[in-house]
Structure 1
Amino acid sequence: MAWGGSGWYADTLVDALGTSQIGLNLALGTHKLALYDNTITPNYSTADSAYSTTGEIAGTGYTAGGAAIASGTLVVSTTGGTFVVWDGNDVQWTGSTLTGVRGGIAYADGSTPKRNILGIDFVSAYTTASGTLLVAFASTGIGRVNVISP
């Protein structure tokens, strides 16, 4: 098992936009980014996928459940096409000693269950030794959905 790329958890989006109306507000400050090793294989099409501690990183400076994604926004961007863009502040763990950090999963910590939103494959495993692990989101946002092709 291993990470195979980044992606949106499709069932969470369907439940937010469809008849279930789960109330997913991407502008909330209660969403978190949890860090994982390379023993998990995110399945972005799994029904009702929720936060799990299986494969979650443990180490100095990291608390299970991850850290908050502050200042969340959901906007329309017309740079290079038309996209719905979810963004927020970068997330970091200072003074951390972590090994084998391979990816992160953003999830709705304020929901029951804590629904997964987006998985981020770091492509390589990262390690810190009494240092800072910074997850710097792309200038194009944490995640975006192309709604009109250029």
Structure 2
Amino acid sequence: MADTLVDALGTDQLALNLAIATHKLALYDNTITPNFGTDQSYSTTGEIVGTGYTAAGKAILSGTLTVVTAGGTFATWDGADVQWDASTLTGVRGGLIHADALTPKRLILGVDFVSTYQTNDGTLLVAWNSLGIGRINVISA
């Protein structure tokens, strides 16, 4: 993912428009160990399989990219919480956000849920932090 950030901000410019609703959160078990220096695109290895879940995950709707100046200057990405209703899922340990509209589906961000979760004909809700899905500290020289 580090390469993706460099490509997005550098000369390759991957068009990672964080305000569009085509980026998805895919759910994974605890068998994967992402290498953020080399893993660049969505993979089904270790992805959750279960009732109410579709491969590649769900779209993150209402995406916004803003500049926040409280406590420093940050580029902040946020979006609507993501949930799977009427789902039966086991071993959910984290997620990878990817740019589903790009080829390949570039990784944007990894999320470790710290604990493992399951549902039994219930709802799995991923509620983002009040500060947003992700932020980059912008430091002026």
Number of residue pairs the alignment of both structures matches: 140
The aligned residue for residue 143 of structure 1 is 134
Q: Which SS does the other structure have where 2:3 is aligned?
A: helix
| 2:36 maps to 1:44 | yes
Shift, 1:10, TM fit: 1.2
Shift, 1:76, TM fit: 0.6
The aligned residue for residue 47 of structure 2 is 56
| 2:52 maps to 1:71 | no
How does the TM-score come out when normalised to structure 1? 0.90
The aligned residue for residue 119 of structure 2 is 128
Whole-Å separation in 2 of the counterparts to 1:79 and 1:128: 38
Whole-Å separation in 1 of the counterparts to 2:34 and 2:7: 18
Gaps of 5+ in 1: 1-8
Shift, 1:46, TM fit: 1.1
Sequence identity of aligned pairs in percent? 73
Q: Which SS does the other structure have where 1:19 is aligned?
A: coil
Residue 17 of structure 1 aligns with an amino acid whose one-letter code is: L
Shift, 1:11, TM fit: 1.0
| 2:27 maps to 1:35 | yes
Q: Which SS does the other structure have where 1:148 is aligned?
A: coil
Whole-Å separation in 1 of the counterparts to 2:33 and 2:20: 27
Gaps of 5+ in 2: none
Render the CA deviation track for 1:54-107: whole Å, top value 9, x for unaligned.
000000110111000001111111222211101100000000010010001000
Q: Which SS does the other structure have where 1:62 is aligned?
A: coil
Residue 86 of structure 2 aligns with an amino acid whose one-letter code is: G
The aligned residue for residue 96 of structure 1 is 87
The aligned residue for residue 86 of structure 1 is 77
Whole-Å separation in 2 of the counterparts to 1:140 and 1:93: 23
The aligned residue for residue 21 of structure 1 is 13
Residue 118 (structure 1) aligned to one of 109, 114, 122: 109
Whole-Å separation in 2 of the counterparts to 1:19 and 1:79: 30
Whole-Å separation in 2 of the counterparts to 1:25 and 1:56: 24
Residue 17 of structure 2 aligns with an amino acid whose one-letter code is: N
Structure 1 segments of 4+ aligned residues over 4 angstroms from their partners: none
How does the TM-score come out when normalised to structure 2? 0.96
Whole-Å separation in 2 of the counterparts to 1:50 and 1:21: 16
